[in-house]
Amino acid sequence: MAGTGKLVLISVDGSKHADYALEFYAKQIKAPGDKLTLLHIPQLYSMKDASPGIMQDLMQKMKAGADEMKARYVAKMAELGLQGDVQIGFGDPGEQICAFAAKTHAAIIIMGTRGLGAIRRTIMGSVSDYVLHHSHVPVLICHN
């Protein structure tokens, strides 16, 4: 699946589902020569009615949270014996994951899923569902 010199992109969000996807890769898929990138896209909420001061405070908190997430996954990769990098992006998670995969020529996207039912997925949307239907590279959805 992910062969020598291939870029493997794993989407992470701090959830147990994302952790499972990373662990699944480490134990079941990892191949010599793989280049691993973890991508975290914080969920953005509409701030159109927020004052500039509140918006600036929220952005600072979001950046601090993203930095903590990056440190957490650097440690998690070391714990699993993996080498790679952690990238942080901003915007719509599904769109950004697909765009990052295309831009970096990823060979595969691996991600976890919360396992929403069809009705909840339709109403709430699902990042994994979006990526599965819009990615131009293979997508592996890990259910735990």
The fold of the 7-41+53-142 domain, in CATH, is Rossmann fold (3.40.50)
What mean pLDDT, rounded, does the chain reach? Answer: 86
**Contact between residue 25 and residue 127 where contact means Cβ atoms under 8 Å apart:** no
- pTM attached to this predicted model: 0.84
13-36 pLDDT per residue, tens: 999 999 999 999 999 999 999 999
Q: If residue 54 lies in a helix (H) or strand (E), which one and from where to where?
A: helix 52-79
CA dihedral 13, 15, 21, 24 (to 10 degrees): 140
Which residues are bridge partners to 139 per DSSP?
Answer: 109
- The domains of the chain are located at 7-41+53-142
